[in-house]
């Protein structure tokens, strides 16, 4: 089967572990002919948005990648919002896919893709959606002009040729249904996921990480990761952790600390010998660390690493938002007004014996909802 991923309303970044990367890699692993057509958006060395030259090459996920230039009819800063590219239709004809997954609902080229599917009705088109009211349509201009008048009009024109809109969260389902007016029967829950390891690989990765960071079997390892600015609330995590003087606690911070919190975060890290900042890690190393962890912390805005942590059997401490609740039953804690972060960290200290059962529950949730092997198989059916 030929599967085409269109990353034209989002970025596709080589060597990362975002959803786009992992599904592409899984499709390749499953033996399909896989292609990626992407924008020129990427990250630079400082993990900031940058642009590369249009090109064709073999990507790090073992699928050919074509990066298309924006059309030159308007200035670049406008074209990257309209997301119109040169040469997509002839490229679709040349690849001649059986299945297309268009990542993100917001792009002019969704019309081009719908036209191709209309002319080639054997092709199945899926559109995944990451949009919700936390990350989209937040200003008046964005809500009523960009999303309301432009993106929504495009999506509704393309809707007859779309098999399913695959929504990554319950909040995204609400946004697609209530704001973009996608009919319920077109919507399917398709969460961000991860690799779910068997016992042998999980234990090997766990031992590797705990040996690397000198974490004893009787110690409790907390992890927070990502591109961390004020919205990720790393300062809250560090403050709450330091307020609980449990000598068996360890905290590894993974990722890139942004300048807006760097000074405060550095001071807190240096003040507590139980905390270690290890910098940015690639996907494999991050998965090792998450397997080595007992508790994954995410008190701030949402991140795909949360799903990865469940796949790595972590208990979780998460912000109490609608999209998190489906994943947290008896395997962690939700932070809210009645259950504050510092109180939860104290609870972990007092109830360490619960962590093994929480780990098993996270593993069950991951097997049921988050395994990219199972999620990718939906495209083939």
DSSP 266-285: HHHHHH-TTEEEEE---HHH
Alpha carbon distance 265, 237 (integer Å): 10
350 with 234, same domain: the answer is yes
257 with 277, same domain: the answer is yes
318 with 282, same domain: the answer is yes
The Cβ of residue 351 has, within 10 Å, a number of other Cβ atoms equal to 10
Which domain-ending residue is among 142, 160, 190? 190
Alpha carbon distance 44, 52 (integer Å): 9
88 with 175, same domain: the answer is yes
138 with 222, same domain: the answer is no
- Number of domains making up the chain: 2
Exposure string over 168-199, b if 16+ CB within 10 A, otherwise e: bbbbbbbbbbebbebeeeebeebbbbbbbbee
172 with 219, same domain: the answer is no
Q: Which residue has the tokens 């010998």?
A: 273
Mean pLDDT over the full length of the chain: 94
348 phi and psi angles, rounded to 5 deg: -60, -45
Quickly list DSSP for 7-31: ESSS---TT--SHHHHHHHHHHHTT
Asked, for residue 115, whether it belongs to a domain, the answer is: yes
pLDDT over threshold 90, residue 243: yes
pLDDT at 137: 66
Contact 193, 309 (CB under 8 A): no
The domain that holds 79 is classified in CATH as 3.40.50.2000
Per-residue tokens: 37? 């057509």
Which domain-ending residue is among 190, 211, 233? 190
169 with 57, same domain: the answer is yes
The Cβ of residue 259 has, within 10 Å, a number of other Cβ atoms equal to 8
Q: Which residues pair with 254 in a beta bridge?
A: 225, 279
Asked, for residue 175, whether it belongs to a domain, the answer is: yes
Asked, for residue 379, whether it belongs to a domain, the answer is: no
134 with 214, same domain: the answer is no
84 phi and psi angles, rounded to 5 deg: -110, 135
18 with 83, same domain: the answer is yes
Across the range 211-230, mean pLDDT stands at 96
Alpha carbon distance 373, 227 (integer Å): 26
166 phi and psi angles, rounded to 5 deg: -95, 110
Among 7-11, 198-202, 317-321, 332-336, where is mean pLDDT lowest?
7-11
Which domain-ending residue is among 190, 218, 238? 190
128 with 53, same domain: the answer is yes
Contact 111, 102 (CB under 8 A): no
Asked, for residue 378, whether it belongs to a domain, the answer is: no
224 with 360, same domain: the answer is yes
Asked, for residue 183, whether it belongs to a domain, the answer is: yes
pLDDT tens profile 300-345:
988 889 999 999 999 999 999 999 999 998 999 999 998 999 999 9
Stated as kind and residue range, the H or E segment containing 306 is helix 305-311
pLDDT over threshold 80, residue 47: no
169 with 311, same domain: the answer is no
Per-residue tokens: 379? 């495209």
Residue-range definition of the domain harbouring residue 258:
199-370
Asked, for residue 218, whether it belongs to a domain, the answer is: yes
Asked, for residue 171, whether it belongs to a domain, the answer is: yes
Alpha carbon distance 183, 164 (integer Å): 10
Across the range 348-362, mean pLDDT stands at 97
Asked, for residue 49, whether it belongs to a domain, the answer is: yes
Q: Would you give the DSSP letter of residue 135?
A: T
pLDDT tens profile 126-176:
999 998 877 776 677 777 678 888 889 999 999 999 999 999 999 999 999
pLDDT tens profile 113-126:
999 999 999 999 99
């Amino acid at each position: 089967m030929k599967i085409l991923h269109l990353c034209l309303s989002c970025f596709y970044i080589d060597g990362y572990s975002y959803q786009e990367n992992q599904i592409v890699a899984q499709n390749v692993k499953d033996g399909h002919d896989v292609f990626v057509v992407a924008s020129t958006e990427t990250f630079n060395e400082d993990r900031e948005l940058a642009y590369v030259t249009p090109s064709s090459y073999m990507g790090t996920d073992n699928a050919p990648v074509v990066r298309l230039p924006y059309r030159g009819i308007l200035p670049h800063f406008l074209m990257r919002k309209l997301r119109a590219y040169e040469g997509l239709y002839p490229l679709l004809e040349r690849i001649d896919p059986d299945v297309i997954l268009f990542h993100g609902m917001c792009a002019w080229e969704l019309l081009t893709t719908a036209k191709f599917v209309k002319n080639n009705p054997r092709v199945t088109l899926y559109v995944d959606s990451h949009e919700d009211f936390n990350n989209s349509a937040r200003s008046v201009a964005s809500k009523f002009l960009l999303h309301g008048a432009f993106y929504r009009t495009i999506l509704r024109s393309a809707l007859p040729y779309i098999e399913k809109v695959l929504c990554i969260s319950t909040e995204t389902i609400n946004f697609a249904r209530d704001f973009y007016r996608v009919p319920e029967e077109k919507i399917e829950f398709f969460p961000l996921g991860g690799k779910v390891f068997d016992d042998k690989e999980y234990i090997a990765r766990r031992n590797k990480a705990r040996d690397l960071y000198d974490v004893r079997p009787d110690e409790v390892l907390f992890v927070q990761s990502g591109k961390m600015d004020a919205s990720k609330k790393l300062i809250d995590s560090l403050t709450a952790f330091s307020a609980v003087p449990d000598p068996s606690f360890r905290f590894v911070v993974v990722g890139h600390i942004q300048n807006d919190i760097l000074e405060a975060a550095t001071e807190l890290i240096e003040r507590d010998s139980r905390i270690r900042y290890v910098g940015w890690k690639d996907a494999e190393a991050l998965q090792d660390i998450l397997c080595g962890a007992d508790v994954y912390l995410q008190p701030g805005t949402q991140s795909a690493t949360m799903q990865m942590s469940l796949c790595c059997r972590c208990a979780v401490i998460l912000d109490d938002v609608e999209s998190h609740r489906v994943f947290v039953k008896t395997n962690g804690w939700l932070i809210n007004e009645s259950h504050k972060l510092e109180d939860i960290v104290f609870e972990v200290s007092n109830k360490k014996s619960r962590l093994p059962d929480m780990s098993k529950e996270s593993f069950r949730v991951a097997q049921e909802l988050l395994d990219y092997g199972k999620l990718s198989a939906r495209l083939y059916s």
